[in-house]
Amino acid sequence: MQSVYRIFLVLFLLSANYGALYAPSVYAASIDTPSSDAPVYVSRTGRKYHRIDCGTLRNSKQEINLGEAVNAGYTPCAVCKPVGFAAVYGAAEYGALIGVPYRVNVGKVDSYRRADLKKMFAARVTRHVDGDTVYITIKDPPAGLKETEKVRMIGVDTPETVHPGKGLEYMGREASGFTKTALLDKDVFIALDWDNRDKYGRLLVYIYTLDGKCHNAELIKQGFAHAYTRFPFQFLEEFRLLEKDARAAKKGLWAGSGS
Ligand SMILES: [Zn+2]
């Protein structure tokens, strides 16, 4: 596998036509989701992809997305540890900060896609409840947080599966299964927003998977959740647009609806 990779890389470097050497299968094994649309940056000559502020980018800086970068054979920079780094090298090497929880409303992160995984704390999803609620375990919890937390994902509402009064709602099982498959027993990164907890004491979070995807956003994109806009959050307008797109594409919840 390694030598195949090297040969491929040599061919790639010798070729003027980068597009002709597109071979996602070679790289698919090294990263969970090569199609991720998270923005990353490359230089004209380098073989690594970077965060926007990486010092190694210097003069030439071109924005592409993670999927394009992976498919073109770029690997994540070990200096700036861009999105996708954790998927390749693991959460431990990523070195997420523990201490003060990262809040996307502070400094006003302008898109969920630009939230900084490096500032989030790492956790493991240890129990699954339904589409928008899970339990996480945090090794060294930041101040104010417990080692085990029941967490509710911010800005989304999935159909009920376990609600005592409502029973099973349309797409509830699918939404629940989507979250279970994506998160259960996985290492994740956690970011917070305005409020730490809801009235039930659940921690309010954004959950990012190791490939840099925001699970909250994925739920809406795939039609497994409404954008829940009753309370303010940093990415409210963006999540609203994601729901609009999911409706237009008749995904999941919207499959049977008119336009
Ligand atoms: Zn870099």
CB atoms within 10 A of CB 175: 27
Ligand 1 midpoint to CA 198 (Å): 37
Ligand 1 midpoint to CA 216 (Å): 27
Q: Is 179 found in the same domain as 141?
A: yes
CATH (domain of 164):
2.40.50.90
Is 24 strand, coil or helix?
helix
Instruction: Scan for tokens 């629940």, then name that residue.
Output: 176
Residue 181 inside a domain? The answer is: yes
For position 86, what pLDDT does the model report? 79
Is 217 strand, coil or helix?
helix
For position 169, what pLDDT does the model report? 85
Ligand 1 midpoint to CA 22 (Å): 23
Residue 259 inside a domain? The answer is: no
Q: In this structure, what are the phi and psi dihedrals at residue 18, rounded to the nearest 5 degrees?
A: -60, -35
Query: Contact, 87 vs 27, CB < 8 A?
Result: no
Beta bridge mates, 128: 134
| Tokens encoding 31 | 């990263």
Ligand 1 midpoint to CA 48 (Å): 7
Query: Contact, 150 vs 197, CB < 8 A?
Result: no
Calculate the alpha carbon distances from 19 to 39, 69, 118, 171, 254 in Å: 19, 12, 31, 40, 36
For position 150, what pLDDT does the model report? 98
Domain end point (choices 69, 89, 109): 89
Domain end point (choices 89, 116, 151): 89
Ligand 1 midpoint to CA 112 (Å): 20
Residue 158 inside a domain? The answer is: yes
Render each residue's pLDDT in the chain as its tens digit; 259 residues.
Answer: 444 444 444 333 333 333 333 233 333 333 333 346 788 999 998 999 999 889 889 878 999 988 889 889 999 998 888 888 877 877 667 767 677 789 999 889 999 999 988 889 999 999 999 999 999 999 888 878 999 999 999 999 999 887 777 778 889 999 999 999 999 999 999 999 998 999 999 999 999 999 889 999 999 999 999 999 999 999 999 999 999 999 999 999 999 865 4
How far out from the chain centre does Cα 206 lie? 9
Q: Is 230 found in the same domain as 172?
A: yes
0.85 surpassed by pTM: no
Say how far apart CA 200 and CA 95 lie, in whole Å. Answer: 31
Q: Is 57 found in the same domain as 97?
A: no
Contacts of 168 (CB under 8 A, 6+ apart): 160, 161
Say how far apart CA 169 and CA 124 lie, in whole Å. Answer: 28
Which residues are known to be catalytic? 152, 160, 202
Contacts of 106 (CB under 8 A, 6+ apart): none
Domain end point (choices 50, 74, 89): 89
Ligand 1 midpoint to CA 10 (Å): 22
Is 187 strand, coil or helix?
strand
Q: Is 189 found in the same domain as 79?
A: no
Ligand 1 midpoint to CA 179 (Å): 31
Residue 114 inside a domain? The answer is: yes
Domain of residue 143 covers 92-254
**Count: domains in the chain:** 2
